[in-house]
Structure formats: structure tokens, C-alpha cells
Structure 1
Amino acid sequence: MSGGPAGPTDGLGPEGNGWDDAASPAAALGDDASTPTDPPEDRPFWHLAELVHWEAAVRRGRYERSTLGASLQQVGFIHAAYPEQLAAVVRAHFARCADPLVVLEIDPARLREHGTDVRLESGDPSDPSGDRYPHIVGPLPLDAVTRTRPAVVARGWLDLGPWESVGGVSREAGSD
């Protein structure tokens, strides 16, 4: 972790967006990103997990948590977000979380290979025209996670550590 408040390239706060490479959120969204109805074929998305639950999932071989304090069984899907949406997720749901977290980068193509559905749905059911978030319908296959990134919430900001490989093999989303 950076050891201080996250800046534009190492965290998610008032100025940061979590993008650490040359691609901007606008470029990653593409021209038709204003109101997507289906998840883009090859656009990775993120899930913010409690580290203790991710570590347990690695031992069990499957991840079944929906969001902070709730299981897949309780909610019916796993909450996820595109990178540019994560700051809003942290503000709304993780601002007071003191536990270690981890960002999971998920490859939608690998989910399809497992027959796992992803739906884009409004983050606010009372506002169907609002931002749409990826919801994973079913357990998350571990091999759909391409890399992880340690994270902690500090003073309302998400402080992000460096990306780490999964299972000892570095995998980039969308590559074989």
C-alpha cells in the first residue's frame, strides 16, 4: 500500500480512479457505453472482497460472497463494478470497513466458459436509468479471477496495493 491517502494512480478517492495503466475509463467504455444492456464481451470488472472470505474461497475452490457482510445465498448474486464505479461502491458500502480487503479482477469470458451469467443492473432499483453494475449470478469460479490487488479503507479512501498474480501464474484479462 502507499502508506498514505491514495492519489490519482494508486487508489480511489476524490482524485483517484484506480486506473494504473494508459487506458482511461472513457476509452475502456467505448463509444456505446452510456447505457449498456449486456456486459461487454471482453471488459474486465472488479469485485471488492473481504480478504478473509477470499482466502477461504481459495482453500475451498469457489467464492460465494455477494458483498460486505452478505453471502451469495442471501442476496442471489455477487456484486461487482467496473473500475470507474468502485469509488462510489466504497463510499456507499465500505466507508467504515476496517478489515483488509482485496480487489478481484474478473474476466467475463472465463465466466461464460463456466456458464456463469452476468447481468448489468441498476445500482439503485428506484432509478432504473442510473449506473448499471455487473452482477454475477452464481458462485465465482476462481479461474475467472485474473489478478488481485490488496486494499484497505483509510479515512474514506480505498488505498490500493500492487496487482498480484493468482495461483502463482500472472494472467492478464482477455489473454490465454
Structure 2
Amino acid sequence: MAIYHLALASEWEAALASGSYTTSTLGVTLEQEGYLHASHAHQWEGVRARYYADVTEPLVLLVIDPDLLGVPLVEEAPAPGTTETFPHIYGPLDPAAVVEVRPLS
């Protein structure tokens, strides 16, 4: 089952050129956070509304095949006060694991 990650289009393009995507979430790197945030199909729109609503730069939705990841994927326990778990990617994202890139308006 696919997982999803919201990205600035410019950062995704840079990842294609470098061969590695390392943005955990808006304005936070993998090095700072320790993992890349990801979502399940029913979660990404809520993440966009909460964290990316004011972004004016073009966004893309990365559709990731977990079987193609070369780094650990961990389904994290729910945050306090919530019941939902979120997938976290513990390492840089290889663009080859991204099976679809959906431009978002």
C-alpha cells in the first residue's frame, strides 16, 4: 500500500538532480528531525490543511511504494491525544521509490 509525502516542487526537482530527497516536512530537514514524515491516503489532505495552507510555492504529492524504500519505514505510535498512526521514513528518500508525482494546485 502506498504512502504519501507533501513536497515543495522545487525541493523535489532538486532531489531528482541529486538522487536523494531529505526534507522531513516544510522547513525541516531529515538531519534535524531524524526521519521523513509521511501519510496514509486518508491523512495527507489533513496534513496539507494543517501545515501547508499558507504555502504559495507549487506543491507536489509524492506517492511512495514502501517496498522500494532502501531505508526503514516505521509506523509510529499515535501522538498524545490522537488515535492515528503515521508512517515515518528513517533515511533519505530515493526518487526510485516514488511511483507517482501529483502536482497540487
Instruction: Specify which of 4, 11, 14 is matched with residue 56 of structure 1.
Output: 14
Q: Find runs of 4+ consecutive structure 1 residues off by over 2 angstroms.
A: none
Q: Secondary structure at the match of 1:130?
A: coil
Query: In structure 2, how many angstroms separate the alpha carbons of the residues matched to 1:94 and 1:45?
Result: 18
Which residue does the alignment assign to 1:101? 59
Measured after TM superposition, the shift of residue 91 of structure 1 is: 1.7
TM-score computed with the length of structure 2 as normaliser: 0.93
Structure 1 unaligned spans of 5+: 1-42, 153-176
Percent of pairs identical after alignment?
38
Which residue does the alignment assign to 2:88? 135
Structure 2 unaligned spans of 5+: none
Measured after TM superposition, the shift of residue 139 of structure 1 is: 0.3
- RMSD, aligned α-carbons: 1.2
Measured after TM superposition, the shift of residue 122 of structure 1 is: 4.1
Q: Secondary structure at the match of 1:148?
A: strand
Q: Deviations over 1:115-152 (max 9, x none)?
A: x101111463x23x521111000000111000100113
| One-letter amino acid of the counterpart of residue 147, structure 1 | E
Is 1:110 equivalent to 2:63 in the alignment?
A: no
Tell me which of the two structures has the higher relative contact order, counting C-alpha pairs closer than 8 angstroms and 6 or more residues apart: 2
Question: Quick check: which has more Rg, 1 or 2?
Answer: 1
Distance 1:135 1:99, change over 3 A: same
TM-score computed with the length of structure 1 as normaliser: 0.57
Query: In structure 1, how many angstroms separate the alpha carbons of the residues matched to 2:68 and 2:90?
Result: 14
Measured after TM superposition, the shift of residue 88 of structure 1 is: 1.1
